[in-house]
Amino acid sequence: MDKLTDRLTITQPDDWHLHARSGSILQTVIAHTARQFGRAIIMPNLKPPVTTVTQALAYRAEILSALPENTSFQPLMTLYLTGNTSVEEVKKAAKAEHVHAFKLYPAGATTNSDAGVADIEAAYPLFAAMEKFALPLLVHGEVTNPEYDIFDREKIFIDTQLDRMVREFPDLRIVVEHATTREAVQFVESAGHRIGATLTPQHLLYNRNAILAGGIRPHFYCLPILKREHHRQALLKAATSGNPKFFLGTDSAPHTTSSKENACGCAGCYSAHAALELYAEAFEQAGALDKLEGFASFHGADFYGLPRNKQTVSLIKRAWTVPKQYGEQDHGITPLKAGEQLAWQQLTD
C-alpha cells in the first residue's frame, strides 16, 4: 500500500456482498461497483429468486451486458437456498465455473426473503453436500420469530442456529454476512479458519441513533439493523485488526427513494456509489488506514480461494459532495450520505 498524506493506493478490492438488482436499477448502479471493484459476490434475492445454475448464468449475462465498455469487472454468482433446493443442484453449482456460493436467508428475514428457509435443520443435507463439494454457505444470521426483539435477532441466531451448524459441519466454509454485533465478532474470532464475516460501511460508521435521532431517517434503515455504539466499536476493531476472517462486503442495496420514503419503507442502504471512500473514512477514524488494503483487497479473495487482483486503485484526500440522488427522478436512488461531504475521493484516469 502506498500511503501519503493525501493519497492512498491499494490493490484493487472486491465486494464480497452486493445487491445489483436487475432491469433499470441494475443499469443505474452496476457502473458504480465496476468503477472500484474487480469482482463482487452477487446476491440472488431477485423476484423471483435465483435458485438454479441456469438462472444464475442468465443473471450473470444480464449484469455483463449492463457494464460500461472496457471494464474487467467480474460478477461472482450465488444461488438462493430454498426448501426445494436439491442436492443435485448443489452438485451442479459446485461444477459451475461462475457460481461461487449458496445464500441462506431465513424466511422473512429481509428484502425478498419470503422464499427462504423456514426450517434450517431440514436444510442440513444440503449443508453436507456443500461441505463435500467445497461450496461456501453465506448466512443472513437472524432469527425471524416475531417474539424476538429486532436488535437481538443476530445474537439469538448465533446461539440457537449458527453455533450448531458450525459444529455439525466443521469443514463447511461459512460467511456470517453483514455482521452487526459484538457477539458476532466474538463468534467468528473463536471459530475455526473456515468461518469468516463481511462488514458493511454503514455498520462501521453508524449506530442506531442514525436511524432514530432527530426523526425517522429511512435511508439508514437496513437489515440487520444498526445496533448500539459498543457493537459498532467492536465491528470497527475487527475490521481494522488485520484478522483475515473479516473482509469487505458492502451489502449495497439499491431501492428507489419512493420505496424507502413511505409508510412502510424497505430495508437497505445504497453505498456502491462511494464504497471505498466510506470504508476509508471509517478506517481513518480508527487510525488504521494501513489495514484497509488487507480488509478490502486480500482477506476475501483468500477466503474464497481466488487470486488477488493485480490492478490498483487510488484515493485522494479531497472533499466532495455526494449527489442527493442517482438515476431518473421517478426511479431515483438516494445514496448513503446523500448531500453530505466525503473526505476521500477515488482518482480516475
CA distance 199 to 185: 10
Grid cell listed for 237: 476493531
* Burial environment of residue 162 by CB neighbours within 10 A (0 to 12, 13 to 18, 19 or more): buried
Rounded to the nearest 10 degrees, how much is the dihedral formed by the CA atoms of 154, 156, 160, 166? 30
From the list 159, 251, 290, 349, the catalytic residue is 251
Nearest by Cα to 182 from 218, 230, 214, 142 = 230
Nearest by Cα to 31 from 68, 76, 69 = 68
Is 114 assigned a catalytic role? no
HSE, CB side, 13 Å, CA atoms: give it for residue 251: 28
Which residue(s) pair with 199 in the sheet?
248
291 is in an annotated binding site: no
> How much helix, strand and coil, in percent to the nearest 5, is found in the chain?
40, 20, 45
How many other C-beta atoms can be found within 10 angstroms of the C-beta atom of residue 136? 22
138 is in an annotated binding site: no
223 is in an annotated binding site: yes
Which residue(s) pair with 42 in the sheet?
18, 77
CA distance 161 to 124: 11
Grid cell listed for 323: 449527489
178 is in an annotated binding site: yes
CA distance 47 to 94: 24
45 is in an annotated binding site: yes
299 is in an annotated binding site: no
How many other C-beta atoms can be found within 10 angstroms of the C-beta atom of residue 282? 22
331 is in an annotated binding site: no
Whole-angstrom Cα Rg for the chain: 19
| DSSP for 36-94, written as a single string | H-SEEEEP---SS---SHHHHHHHHHHHHHHSPTT---EEEEEEE--TT--HHHHHHHH
> Catalytic site residues?
251
Residues flagged as binding site: 17, 19, 45, 103, 140, 178, 223, 251, 255, 267
Residues flagged as binding site for Zn(2+): 17, 19, 103, 140, 178, 251
Residues flagged as binding site for substrate: 45, 140, 223, 255, 267
